[in-house]
């Protein structure tokens, strides 16, 4: 089955993610010094419980980070910003993108409806601290060129290569090692 539905993964998802994250951060940051602090009975100044909780939540995002990949749920054409045609053909199960999040699957914007609409599956790889997750992400993206599913495709210069199907350096949904 081929999908001719055109969608804009990075722009739409990034905007939604930024909007949600921005709203949450904005609402949780005290607007005034008095909201971020409290004065103790002995006259000393301390952070308010609300501000301490906000700081802890932010720290948890760095301590508990997910590395995931998005895979094609069906054969189809997918957005590929680094491909000359702007799209790329993937078979079901092939890797579209590797990503990280400290917000979890739903917080990242990958609810079941969105995944179904874009013919993708969300696969959790590991949950670790941000440094471990980012290092592993760079490894996975960086070694995509030699991933068996990619090696099964013809070289771009081969007569067997097709306009939307050939070997790539990066997964179709990643534009860099980040």
pLDDT at position 1: 44
CA dist 65 → 5, 70, 100, 145 (Å): 31, 16, 7, 25
Q: Is residue 84 part of a domain?
A: yes
pLDDT at position 28: 59
SS3 83: coil
Q: Is residue 55 part of a domain?
A: no
What are the tens digits of pLDDT across the range 9-49? Answer: 455 555 556 566 555 555 557 778 888 889 999 999 999 99
pLDDT at position 11: 52
pLDDT at position 17: 60
pLDDT at position 10: 52
Q: Is residue 102 part of a domain?
A: yes
Of 173, 164, 154, 175, the residue nearest 77 (C-alpha)? 164
Digitized pLDDT (tens) for each residue of the chain, 178 residues in all:
444 444 444 555 555 565 665 555 555 577 788 888 899 999 999 999 999 888 888 887 778 899 999 999 999 999 999 999 999 999 999 999 999 998 889 888 899 999 999 999 999 999 999 999 999 999 999 999 999 999 999 999 999 999 999 999 999 999 998 8
Q: Is residue 88 part of a domain?
A: yes
pLDDT at position 23: 57
Please tell me the total count of domains within the chain.
1
pLDDT at position 156: 93
- Give just the sign of the alpha carbon dihedral 75, 119, 77, 99: negative
pLDDT at position 70: 98
Q: Is residue 56 part of a domain?
A: no
Predicted model pTM: 0.71
Q: Is residue 89 part of a domain?
A: yes
Question: Look-up: residue for tokens 């601290």?
Answer: 129
Q: Is residue 2 part of a domain?
A: no
Contacts 24+ apart (CB under 8 A), 140-149: 140/67, 140/69, 140/98, 141/98, 141/170, 141/171, 141/174, 141/176, 141/177, 142/177, 144/95, 144/98, 144/168, 144/169, 144/170, 144/171, 144/174, 145/169, 145/170, 147/95, 149/91, 149/93, 149/94, 149/95
C-beta atoms surrounding 142 within 10 Å: 13
Q: Residue 135 sits in which domain range?
A: 9-30+64-151
Q: Is residue 75 part of a domain?
A: yes
Residues 88 and 164 sit within 8 Å (Cβ to Cβ) = yes
């Amino acid at each position: 089955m081929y999908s001719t539905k055109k969608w804009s993964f990075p722009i739409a998802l990034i905007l939604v993610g930024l909007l949600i994250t921005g709203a949450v951060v904005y609402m949780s940051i005290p607007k005034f010094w008095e909201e971020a602090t409290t004065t103790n009975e002995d006259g000393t100044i301390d952070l308010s419980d609300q501000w301490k909780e906000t700081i802890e939540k932010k720290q948890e995002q760095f301590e508990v980070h997910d590395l995931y990949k998005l895979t094609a749920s069906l054969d189809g054409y997918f957005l590929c910003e680094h491909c000359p045609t702007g799209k790329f053909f993937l078979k079901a199960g092939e890797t579209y993108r590797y990503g990280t999040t400290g917000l979890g699957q739903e917080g990242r914007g990958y609810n079941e409806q969105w995944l179904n609409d874009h013919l993708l599956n969300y696969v959790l790889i590991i949950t670790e601290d941000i440094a471990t997750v980012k290092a592993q992400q760079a490894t996975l993206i960086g070694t995509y060129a030699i991933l068996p599913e990619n090696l099964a495709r013809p070289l771009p210069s081969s007569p067997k290569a097709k306009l939307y199907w050939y070997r790539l350096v990066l997964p179709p949904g990643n534009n860099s090692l980040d």
